[in-house]
Amino acid sequence: MLIHIPALLSADEVGHFRAVLEAAAWTDGRVTAGAQSAMAKNNLQIPEDAAEARQLGAIILDKLGRNEAFVAAGLPLRVFPPLFNRYDEGMGFGAHVDNTIRFSGPVRFRTDLSSTLFLTDPADYDGGELVVMDTYGEQKVKLPAGDMVLYPASSVHRVETVTRGSRWASFFWAQSMVADDGRRALLYQMDQAIQTLAAQVGLDHPSVVSLTGAYHNLIRMWGET
């Protein structure tokens, strides 16, 4: 399940992010890759412990905590501190699957969901599409600056080689309360249907109350805390 989250950052916020990142020190992106990923990876990153990454990452985490689409689709238990990467001309990232376990200091994360927050307008670069392989084939994603895509971390995915310009983004993972992607998809569909029904008949309609109760009870059944 791919979820497009529009305008997580405003145009002014994207401009601020770009200015901060322009002044930061970039390093070889392979330092955060696993053994298989490192062979396919060719990009630049801001070090995880850089002040710029912590400052901008805190803004993203605050936005995510207040974003209804992210919360509904991801049911996040914890979110890995956002990282930042850059693909200049000739750079790309071959097909790979993200590591299942990530550490941020002493905290261990299971990576159920992957996210890419675009920080470059599509007109400013060629190539650089995020390509996610799912049951419906290859899904190509190239979103406006400030938009984000959320997708299962278990997916095989790649970033096409940039042939013009430079593609900047933030990327991070979330551990969901519901580990299984199929169950998360069902819960998201149920949540969206409840919202649609509530808009038509009201939140206090018996059917809405009943379905809302079933939704939360399924999270209790399938979820972890």
What the block records as the tokens of 50 is 């850089």
The CATH number linked to 134 is 2.60.120.620
Nearest to 93 by CA among 131, 136, 133: 131
Q: How far apart are CA 21 and CA 211, in angstroms?
A: 45
pLDDT digits (tens, 9 = 90+) for 75-103: 999 999 999 999 999 999 999 999 999 99
pLDDT of residue 38: 61
Tell whether 84 and 152 lie within a shared domain.
Answer: yes
pLDDT digits (tens, 9 = 90+) for 50-76: 999 999 999 999 999 999 999 999 999
Q: How far apart are CA 60 and CA 83, in angstroms?
A: 10
Tell whether 193 and 135 lie within a shared domain.
Answer: no
Tell whether 95 and 115 lie within a shared domain.
Answer: yes
User: Strands, DSSP E only, in 6-106?
Assistant: 27-28, 41-42, 44-45, 76-79, 83-87, 92-96, 101-104
The pTM (predicted TM-score) of the whole model is: 0.93
User: Mean pLDDT of all residues in the chain?
Assistant: 95
- From 176, 196, 213, the end of a domain falls on 176
The rounded Cα 192 to chain-centroid distance in angstroms is 20
Tell whether 192 and 135 lie within a shared domain.
Answer: no
Tell whether 201 and 159 lie within a shared domain.
Answer: no
Instruction: Print the domain residue range for 188.
Output: 181-222
pLDDT digits (tens, 9 = 90+) for 115-128: 999 999 999 999 99
Tell whether 209 and 165 lie within a shared domain.
Answer: no
What is the largest distance, in Å, between two alpha-carbon atoms of the chain?
A: 58
pLDDT tier at 29, thresholds 50, 70, 90: confident
Pairing of strands 148-152, 3-5: antiparallel
Tell whether 45 and 97 lie within a shared domain.
Answer: yes
Tell whether 134 and 196 lie within a shared domain.
Answer: no
Residues 6+ apart with CB under 8 A from 95: 40, 133, 156, 157, 158
Query: How many domains does the chain divide into?
Result: 2
